[in-house]
Every structure is written in C-alpha cells, then in structure tokens.
Amino acid sequence: MANAEIALVAFHTTFNLIGMIIVLPFTKQFAHLIERLIPDNTPQLTDALDPSLLQESALAMNALQMAIENEFHQLLQHIEILFNHKASPGAEPIGLTAMQQMLDQTHDYLDLIHLNREQSEEWPRLVALIHTLDHLQRPHERCDERNHGALDNGITVAMRPTFEWHF
C-alpha cells in the first residue's frame, strides 16, 4: 500500500515538473496573448511618463506636467461627486486607489529628474511641479477619507452634508 502511495506522489510530482518545464518558456507570449484578448480599458494618466525622456529634462518635465494635469482633472471629478453626489455626464472617474498609484508613479518619475539648481533654467518649473504634485496629494487624501472606498467599488453614495477641508 505504501509503495502505491509513493508511486502516485512521484508520478504527480514528475507530471507537474515536466508540465512546468514545457510551459514556463512560453509564459511571456501567453501574457501578451491575454493582454490582447482582455485589454485594460482604464485610463492611464501616467502613460506619458516615459523613462527614455529623462535624458532630456525639458521633455521629461513636459510629460510630467501632462500627467499632473490629467491627475488634477480626475481629482476634480472626484470632488464634484462628493459635492453633487453624481458625476458630470460623460465623466468616468477612476478609483481613488488607482489614482493614488498614479500619483505615486508620478512622484517616482519626478524623483528621477535631476537638475542642478544653479545651471538649469528649468529649476523653477521643476519646483513648481513638485509643489503642484504635493498639493494634489492633500485633496486626494481628503476625498479618500470622505469616500471610504465607495468610488473604488463603483458606487456613488450620498455623503454627509458638511464637507470640511483641513490643510
């Protein structure tokens, strides 16, 4: 009886190992196939943040500014929902968790832009972008506190009538 159990375990383990050895080299192609079959329809506000643009600081900051503007518009949609309890026609706000991830990506990209304060004409613009991104984080956190995850679930809920900003 013990030999039969050991044979079954050995067969099962060998079958799994051979299957893994055969399939593992094709995982990248399989992932691409799945991505083509089921495309991601969520708006990617940070698509413009291409690492190759970091070699030219002006281009990198243009991409950064575009991403921040897109994130700002999304944040305004969330604030509108909090005040009006509904979104504008045609507006499709992304979830607050996804928005935080995009703000984090934007912040990480910003950290990769290195300018010398004395030698760069772009320094004031970089400082302005840093401040803008910082000021986007605060209202986002307030929306998240007030929302309690309702927008992440695609549910618009009536909020309490008072809305307080604490900066």
Q: Encode pLDDT of 57-114 as tens digits.
A: 888 889 999 988 988 888 888 778 777 776 666 666 677 777 888 888 888 988 888 8
Number of domains in the chain: 2
Residues 17 and 66 in one domain: no
Residues 59 and 140 in one domain: yes
Comparing C-alpha atoms, which of 4, 113, 22 is closest to residue 67?
113
Q: Which residue has the higher pLDDT, 82 or 161?
A: 82
Residues 20 and 99 in one domain: no
Residues 31 and 87 in one domain: no
Residues 55 and 33 in one domain: no
Comparing C-alpha atoms, which of 66, 110, 63, 71 is closest to residue 94?
71
Phi-psi region of 144 (alpha: psi -120 to 50; beta: other; left: phi over 0): alpha
Domain extent at residue 116: 51-147
Token reading at 57: 């600081």
Q: Which residues contact 82 (CB under 8 A, 6 or more apart)?
A: 143, 146, 147, 159, 163
